Amino acid sequence: MHQTIKPPEASFPDVLDRDGVCLIPAICSDAHCDDLLAALGQGADGAGSRCLLEHPAVRSMADHLRTHPQLRPLMPTGAVAVQCSVFAKSPAINWSVAPHQDLSIPVAERVDDAACSGWSSKEGMVFTQPPASVLASLLAVRLQLDPDAAATGPLQVLRGSHRWGRLPLSAIGSLWAHAEPMACVVPRGGVVALRPLTVHASSKATRGGLRRVLHFLFGPPHLPLGLRWARTHAPVA
């Protein structure tokens, strides 16, 4: 059964500030989703590539999201797209993700500052875990490219958990076990706007079907502590 998303009782910015997550159902048309999947080809069949921002179709979508009337008020000032990942589930590749916060960002190079930790390298990019104040300034936008999200392992979140700062994994597990996570179900072409510090997880699909999600990360154009983004897609002049 198709799920109808009721308009929020508060404005989208107020909902995002309160809950750390906001569901917006009608950002892209079916045709727009079809065109994007066709352009990506095999790029939408993996389970976690982080390098899609180099793709022209993805950059065009980043512009669409950044300037959309319902998303623009949620964006950081001067927002630039700094990363795009694909997450794909299918009957052949069905996976789950334990509760966590998104703590790492892609940067140009390592800096010598004790406030940054967890340095790593993935797919040729350098990642670090910056202070929680930096993470709080970012916005993730997850675009649902397939229908039937409720049955294909949707994102689940602990509403309001972005206000608790950076949490140890032991605390996250305990909170998740005693809370009632919200399933973030949007129709095809809808988005889930998420603060990275919001505790979230994803279960396996309960029945066959495709679930392909493009996860965009938007941030301010400049970072503190001498950090620089690994790459950005700036607003079109």
CA distance from start to end of the chain: 43
> So what's the pLDDT on residue 48?
56
Q: Mean pLDDT of successive 10-residue segments in the chain (237 residues)?
A: 51 97 95 90 60 90 96 96 91 90 97 96 93 98 93 94 95 94 96 98 86 95 97 73
Q: How far is CA 233 from CA 45, 64, 118, in A?
A: 23, 12, 25
> So what's the pLDDT on residue 219?
97
Residue 51 is classified by DSSP as: B
Domain membership flag for residue 236? no
> So what's the pLDDT on residue 8?
54
Domain membership flag for residue 122? yes
Domain membership flag for residue 209? yes
Domain membership flag for residue 7? no
Domain membership flag for residue 9? no
CA dist., res. 102 & res. 138, Å (int): 11
> So what's the pLDDT on residue 3?
43
Domain membership flag for residue 136? yes
Q: What angle do CA 65, 70, 73 make, to 5 degrees?
A: 90
Coil/strand/helix, residue 151: helix
Six token digits for residue 215: 């996860």
Total number of domains in the chain: 1
Model pTM score: 0.92
**Residue numbers of the domain that contains 60:** 16-219
Domain membership flag for residue 8? no
CA dist., res. 163 & res. 122, Å (int): 28
Domain membership flag for residue 6? no
CB 202 within 8 A of CB 47: no
CA dist., res. 174 & res. 67, Å (int): 38
Q: Which CATH number covers residue 119?
A: 2.60.120.620
